[in-house]
């Protein structure tokens, strides 16, 4: 498969979406694709038109007479009128993160700033709020999702400060607009940071030949030009490079991304957030951000992380010592110190030596397209779906893929998703789902079929070899597809409750759930085959050793995760905007105390993109892991395990479909049939059963 060749599982010509629209409409579904802009001028025109039309609809809400005030003309109309500009912003945000042309990315960045400023201003339209408040004073009798939308709308106005005097509201609005501008600059600096680093072949001793034989990594002097910001470059070096100096240089480059630009911006972001929280009556930004989440306050989130951190202390210490002993053996230095650039390498060595697992050799079993189709077949079977490759009317990159999702039983089209899976210059450099069209029920009764894009950075295929994924990368593929399914299977009536629009400490649950499938032998046997000899499957004993190796190193993995979560919460637990601590000092101290010290002179926190978007919310990964592990027990205890169709149907209906249209605690209880427990998660990471945190 060549790098530019769009791979498709279907040998027949791809069908356009127009051939599915009538069938969708007959089933009550509106099926659309985003109308992507292709010039900077078109981007601006789309955003300006969307905002103008939304403003006109907001004006109508503001001018309602007492006899025309009702749920449909206020609460529902507010959700409806914001839908088109949000769709425009979704497209433009994707363009900002993925478009090959810098002029398009730059224009999109500026427009996102303008959109966010406008969006902040919406909360402070006193005239619109007066109509909403007038409806609230009628004490409406609502139920179900409509009642939830009503309550959340009033809560959002309260959290924006609409009950405060005008002068205080105006100041909060000004601060929030300033915050959105600075945050967008912070994100843009991370996306633009490249982290180029040059190595000779000798300096890359230990790396797999499949990586080293890629011609596009070599410069004119036969040196390797790697990018610390490209995750698979970084991880391949950190897990395999035999020379410590090579690992140190790569880690240093990774932890230096955007350092010159983002430290001052982050200090300003934290100062603004603390000011806003204080003016709204919250002790800290952590308390403000966690209020609508499952945790409810910063103290509970902190307690959860600290108890997990303490529970992992002995396991983490033992694992580091095992790694250090391997370093002593390899270097001959009895006083060897394990550094932050060592842990991935020696964890990999441990898997090879003590568990006889070479993760690089397993790549042969996971060529990208084969893994993708295996995943599709797994979830088609489990959730009663079909995935069909379609013709993409517009491609922002040549190897883009587009798929239609349909219900297998009724053949009803449900939605669509794009796949942009390989790295390139200027592209978002991690792994994420980007929402494009949110599911919702329109006024005509048709349900809007969602559309999302998975933006990933898997190993690039070459002219003579497909992209080969590691087992961890397959886990990432399943994880991100979990986000996509969460969006695509939604049945929420209102867009604000659709799909992944759930509390941030629950949003990872459906995706982390799907990671379990790639640890199951029966699932892997359906698609994990050596691409050079398809008769070869991964032996069962290797999967068992993979599980044992995972448990042997999971303390290190989670302590690293907890260091990020504790760093995030500590930075956002400041109560005085004039006493915001030095972010670099705090970050480096916590990383050293909870995990391992950062390379001297580096600034990991400058490229920690979760600080905008997951701010005061990184704890949600571990929190969601705990819930996902409990949900997974339903499959583990089923006779057909991870192919139990009845359990899959329940997962689709009780977890994916509702979104946030009901309290997620109700969804968890409906799926489990019992109160949730943290014990399955504790067992999975080697901690004796107890009840820390949640």
Catalytic residues: 480
Where is 416: in which H helix or E strand? strand 413-420
Residue 493: closest CA among 446, 561, 423 = 446
By the 10 Å C-beta count (0-12 exposed, 13-18 middle, 19+ buried), 219 is classed as exposed
Q: Which residue has the tokens 């224009």?
A: 107
3-state secondary structure string across 357-412 = CCCCHHHHHCEHHHHHHHHHHHHHHHHCEEEEEECCCCCCCCCCEEEEEEECCCCC
Q: Using alpha carbons, list the distances in angstroms from residue 513 to 143, 243, 360, 483, 518.
A: 31, 37, 25, 10, 11
DSSP structural state of residue 227 = E
Cα 24–Cα 29–Cα 33 angle in degrees, nearest 5: 80
Instruction: Copy the structure tokens of residue 566.
Output: 């504790």
Q: Using alpha carbons, list the distances in angstroms from residue 268 to 117, 265, 379, 387, 581.
A: 17, 5, 44, 45, 11
| Rounded CA separation 506/650 (Å) | 18
Residue 22: closest CA among 413, 364, 354, 309 = 413
Measured from the Cβ of residue 209, the count of other Cβ atoms closer than 10 Å reads 8
By the 10 Å C-beta count (0-12 exposed, 13-18 middle, 19+ buried), 276 is classed as buried
For residue 404, which phi and psi values (nearest 5 degrees)? Answer: -100, 135
């Amino acid at each position: 498969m060549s790098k530019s060749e769009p791979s498709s599982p279907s040998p027949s010509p791809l069908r356009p979406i127009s051939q599915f629209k009538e069938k969708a409409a007959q089933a009550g579904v509106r099926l659309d694709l985003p109308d992507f802009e292709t010039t900077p001028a078109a981007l601006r025109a789309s955003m300006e038109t969307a905002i103008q039309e939304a403003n006109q609809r907001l004006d109508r809400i503001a001018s309602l007479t007492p006899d025309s005030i009702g749920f449909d003309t206020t609460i529902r109309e507010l959700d409806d009128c914001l839908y088109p500009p949000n769709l425009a912003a979704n497209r433009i945000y994707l363009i900002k993160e993925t478009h090959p042309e810098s002029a398009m990315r730059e224009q999109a960045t500026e427009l996102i700033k303008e959109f966010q400023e406008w969006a902040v201003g919406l909360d402070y339209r006193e005239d619109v709020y007066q109509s909403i408040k007038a409806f609230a004073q009628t004490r409406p009798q609502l139920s179900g999702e409509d009642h939830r939308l009503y309550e959340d709308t009033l809560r959002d106005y309260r959290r924006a400060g609409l009950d405060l005097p005008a002068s205080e509201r105006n100041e909060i609005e000004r601060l929030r607009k300033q915050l959105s501008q600075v945050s967008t600059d912070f994100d843009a600096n991370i996306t633009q940071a490249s982290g180029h680093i040059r190595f000779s072949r000798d300096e890359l001793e230990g790396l797999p030949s499949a990586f080293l034989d890629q011609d596009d990594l070599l410069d004119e002097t036969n040196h390797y030009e790697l990018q610390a910001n490209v995750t698979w470059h970084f991880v391949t070096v950190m897990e395999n490079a035999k020379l410590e100096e090579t690992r140190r240089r790569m880690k240093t480059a990774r932890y230096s991304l955007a350092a010159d630009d983002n430290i001052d911006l982050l200090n300003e972001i934290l100062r603004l957030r603390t000011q806003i929280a204080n003016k709204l009556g919250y002790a800290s930004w952590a308390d403000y951000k966690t209020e609508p989440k499952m945790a409810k306050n910063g103290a509970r989130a902190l307690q959860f992380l600290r108890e997990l951190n303490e529970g992992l202390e002995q396991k983490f210490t033992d694992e580091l010592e095992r790694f250090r002993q391997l370093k002593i053996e390899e270097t001959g230095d009895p006083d060897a110190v394990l550094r932050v650039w060592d842990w991935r390498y020696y964890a990999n060595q441990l898997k090879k030596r003590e568990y006889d697992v070479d993760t690089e050799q397993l790549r042969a079993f996971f060529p990208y397209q084969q893994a993708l189709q295996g995943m599709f077949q797994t979830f088609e079977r489990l959730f009663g779906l079909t995935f069909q490759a379609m013709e993409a009317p517009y491609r922002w990159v040549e190897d883009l893929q587009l798929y239609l999702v349909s219900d297998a039983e009724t053949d009803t089209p449900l939605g669509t998703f794009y796949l942009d899976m390989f790295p390139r210059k200027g592209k978002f450099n991690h792994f994420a789902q980007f929402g494009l069209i949110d599911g919702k029920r329109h006024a005509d009764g048709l349900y809007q079929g969602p559309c999302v894009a998975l933006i990933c950075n898997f190993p690039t295929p070459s002219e003579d070899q497909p992209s080969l994924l590691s087992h961890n990368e397959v886990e990432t593929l399943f994880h991100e597809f979990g986000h996509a399914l969460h969006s695509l299977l939604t049945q929420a009536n209102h867009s604000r409750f659709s799909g992944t629009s759930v509390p941030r400490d629950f949003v990872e649950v459906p995706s982390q759930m799907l990671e379990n499938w790639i640890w199951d032998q029966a699932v892997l046997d359906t698609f994990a085959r050596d691409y050079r000899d398809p008769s070869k499957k991964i032996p069962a004993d290797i999967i068992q050793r993979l599980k044992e190796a995972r448990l042997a190193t999971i303390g290190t993995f989670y302590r690293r995760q907890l260091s990020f979560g504790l760093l995030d919460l500590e930075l956002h637990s400041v109560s005085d905007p004039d006493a915001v601590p030095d972010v670099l000092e705090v970050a480096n101290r916590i990383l050293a105390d909870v995990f391992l010290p950062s390379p001297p002179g580096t600034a990991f926190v400058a490229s920690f993109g979760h600080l905008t978007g997951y701010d005061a919310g990184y704890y949600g990964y571990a929190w969601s892991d705990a819930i996902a592990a409990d949900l997974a027990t339903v499959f583990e205890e089923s006779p057909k395990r991870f192919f139990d169709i009845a359990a899959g149907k329940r997962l689709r209906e009780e977890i994916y479909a509702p979104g946030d249209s009901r309290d997620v605690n109700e969804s968890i209880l409906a799926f489990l049939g019992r109160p949730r427990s943290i014990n399955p998660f504790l067992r999975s990471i080697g901690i004796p059963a107890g009840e820390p945190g949640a």
